[in-house]
Structure 1
Amino acid sequence: MPPPVLPAPLHNAPQDNGPSGSDARRVLRSVALILAQHEIRSVRRWFEEFDRDILLAILLGEIALHNVGALQHGLARRGHNGNGHDEADSEDVLAEAFMRKMNPCNAYSIAAATGLPRETVRRKIARLIEMGWIVRNGNGHLYITESALAQFGALLSSSALCELLETADRLRALIEGPAA
């Protein structure tokens, strides 16, 4: 395995007046520790948010990224599916017009994306539907609901986002070192 590539400020620093190899390794260890601390806090938060079932968080994330990733990249579907209508009887579902713009996915594509067994994915999807965070239309296509977007959008825009930005600032300060 090749050694990790140092961040540009560490990699490009002249050896005589920049960080030595041991200083660079110390900084990288500190960066790794800060990232690990941040990730563990995030995983704990998601673990609790999803009734202590982390697979639910992973599956909802995959479905949401698949759905809204098309919107972010301008690849939203045009038109409609199958018979022209997305069937849904929950009042908590994204508006049909918005769903048509989303990229649909199904249990098979989510199983392939996650590497999880299809039966596990089907069982967890049923739980996410019970929780009101995804909906399955008549074609078996899966969509994230408005309530899930509101719930996790609020979570991400609250303390989690502040924590992420603070972590990024700490890492940047570590990598760039003291100002000259």
Structure 2
Amino acid sequence: MSTQLREAAGELAGVLWREHTVYRERSGGVVIRGEHVRRWISLAPAGGRDEILLRAGRILDGGTTAPARSEAVMPLSAGTAELAAACRRLLAETAADAVAMGAPAGSGKKAGAARRPAKTRRPKKPRRSGGRGRHTGIGSWIVLLCVGGVIAYHLWSIGVLR
């Protein structure tokens, strides 16, 4: 099954993107990364004997992958054209989700306020005026006191503090 997945992924990658990377996952599936479009597609064995699970997601800034935004089950015996059509549909859904979330399609950067309609803008979080900010917490003080106690005991035991 893994060799069939690898062969199908190689053919599919050539149809979908000019620039791509195909590699095997630890779970036995195959991933196709399109860095230039900032998207990925995963082919993994599904519950059925001749079925594969297609998943699509985004590639975030720094090269990490976001969780799959859409998925579908297809027969492995389906032709490359059918698999490519299903993958394009999943990629379109992923791009639509990215735009709806506020990131422009094809880029990992956040969209400016001008790209989002005024009525769907999220209100900014209010600043905590009376909050503690970045002060040392009680746990840190306990650790510091313990370290200071160990140092004082060491100095006392060698005769410096007698």
Please say whether Structure 1 and Structure 2 have the same fold, judged by a TM-score greater than 0.5. Answer: no
The TM-score bracket by the shorter chain reads under 0.3
TM-score normalized by the length of structure 2: 0.26
User: Greater share of strand residues, 1 or 2?
Assistant: 2
Of structures 1 and 2, the one scoring higher in RCO (CA 8 A, sep 6+) is 1
Larger Rg: 2
TM-score normalized by the length of structure 1: 0.24
User: Greater share of helix residues, 1 or 2?
Assistant: 1
